[in-house]
């Protein structure tokens, strides 16, 4: 699905932003080519999202694959991508941010709940997790979980590095040799 300034139902606001009532839901890739920010009343759900400017959704943003924005990404709820999330500016979510790959922002990353990336998190500015005004401090989930923090200052949240040692494959005989043990293998 492609959205440009001729897309049916798209309104141009006085401040130059574009507005779309309802939600965007497609099983295809969503490609947005506009000269200003796109605000969607509800959520944005697509296989993959690519936008040359900023995407703002009143609810959640979810892409089965990745999200790529030339500007920022903002969601009233969560942001979820099967692969990576990349924004030229900031990434802001009312709830959590979750990516199967890496999360990269040209500015800061803010999440009302936690932030989780399977591989890395990188931000040119500060990172905040657990800053929701709707959750009290005892229930606050402020975990920032990733395999590597490439760049950015954790301003609020608890960083957990999940990098695991690579799994080495060996036969049972090789394991015995590595342990230096003479073990008889019984079937």
Task: Give the three-class secondary structure for 15.
Answer: coil
pLDDT at 3: 96
pLDDT at 40: 96
From residue 65, alpha-carbon distances to 60, 136, 162 in Å are 15, 33, 22
Cβ(86)–Cβ(99) below 8 Å: no
pLDDT at 54: 92
pLDDT tens track for 69-121: 988 898 888 898 888 898 888 898 888 888 888 899 988 898 888 899 988 99
Higher pLDDT, 164 or 1: 1
Domain boundaries along the sequence of the chain = 2-179
The model's pTM is 0.78
Cα atoms found within 13 Å of the Cα of residue 181, Cβ hemisphere only:
8
Alpha helices in the chain (DSSP H): 172-179
Q: How many CB atoms lie within 10 A of CB 47?
A: 15
């Amino acid at each position: 699905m492609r959205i440009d300034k001729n897309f049916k139902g798209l309104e141009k606001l006085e401040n130059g932003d574009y507005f779309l009532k309802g939600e965007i839901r497609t099983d295809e890739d969503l490609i947005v080519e506009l000269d200003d920010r796109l605000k969607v009343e509800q959520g944005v759900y697509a296989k993959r999202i690519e936008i040359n400017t900023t995407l703002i959704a009143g609810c959640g943003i979810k892409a089965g694959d990745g999200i790529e924005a030339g500007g920022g990404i903002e969601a009233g709820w969560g942001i979820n991508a099967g692969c990576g999330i990349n924004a030229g500016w900031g990434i802001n979510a009312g709830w959590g941010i979750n990516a199967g790959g890496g999360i990269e922002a040209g500015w800061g990353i803010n999440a009302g709940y936690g932030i989780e990336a399977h591989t890395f998190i990188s931000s040119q500015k500060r990172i905040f997790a657990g800053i929701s005004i709707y959750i009290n401090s005892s229930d606050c989930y402020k975990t920032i979980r990733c395999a590597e923090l490439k760049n950015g200052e954790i301003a609020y949240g608890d960083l957990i590095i999940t990098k695991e040692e690579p799994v080495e494959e060996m036969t049972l005989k090789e394991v015995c040799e590595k342990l230096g043990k003479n073990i008889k293998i019984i079937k």
